[in-house]
Structure 1
Amino acid sequence: MTKQEVESLFEFPCQFPIKAMGRNVPDLDAIIVALIRCHVDDLSEGAVTTRLSKGGKFIAITVEIEAQSKAQLDAIYTDLNACPHITMTL
């Protein structure tokens, strides 16, 4: 699949769930939201959902955004993956 074909899979703007996981440390959700807010002007009420792992050791945070471009999504994921508290993004 070419780069152009991959980019055409999305029509921007669109609703897009950003998912990040890490150890259940205090304020991880706030850290993730702060990183995303650097790239998103307006997060709607209820945009953030969290889910603890069965043992409570890990937490998954989903932030639903209105993505404007692939470049915006790339920048968000670059920042999230650079954060030492985040172990995985989807």
Structure 2
Amino acid sequence: MERFGQGEELVMEFPCDFLIKVVGRADVAFHARICEIVCRHDDSFDPLERLQRKDSSAGKYQSLTVNLRAISKEHIDAVYQDLKACELVLWAL
């Protein structure tokens, strides 16, 4: 078990579930690419169970909330780096 935080205050304890919100244009390719990126980092990732999709009111954009099984801060950072490098991603939180 790894812990990440400052001083005696525990911020995160690994492994843990970590939610990432990713936004892009509503497109089948966007959904597929995000699943591909997350699967590279989390071989237990099942999009049917660990991904929620929401379309914007006009249907132009889509947000995906990914439930990542994170094993370390570096693991989370690597996923964010790959998501932000994807040309289909407008932003990731």
TM interval, short-chain normalised: 0.7 to 0.9
1:31 to 2:33 alignment: yes
After the TM superposition, which parts of structure 1 deviate over 4 Å for at least 4 consecutive aligned residues? none
By how many angstroms is 1:9 displaced?
1.3
TM-score, normalised to structure 1, is 0.87
Alignment-derived partner of residue 66 in structure 1: 69
Maintained 8 Å contact 2:5/2:12: no
Which stretches in structure 2 are left out of the alignment for 5+ residues? none
Partner of 2:85: 82
Counterparts of 1:17 and 1:37 in 2: how far apart (Å)? 15
Give the residue type in structure 2 aligned to 1:53: S
RMSD over aligned Cα atoms:
1.6
Instruction: In structure 1, list runs of 5 or more residues that go unmatched.
Output: none
For structure 1, which segment, 14-23 or 75-84, has the greater mean C-alpha deviation from structure 2 after superposition? 14-23
Q: Deviations over 1:28-53 (max 9, x none)?
A: 11110100111112014411110000
- The answer to whether structure 1 residue 42 and structure 2 residue 44 are counterparts is yes
**Cross-structure match for 1:19:** 21
Cα deviation for residue 4 of structure 1 reads 5.1
SS at match of 1:77: helix
1:11-42 Cα shifts (integer Å, max 9, x gaps):
11111112100111223111101001111120
> C-alpha distance in 1, partners of 2:17/2:5?
20
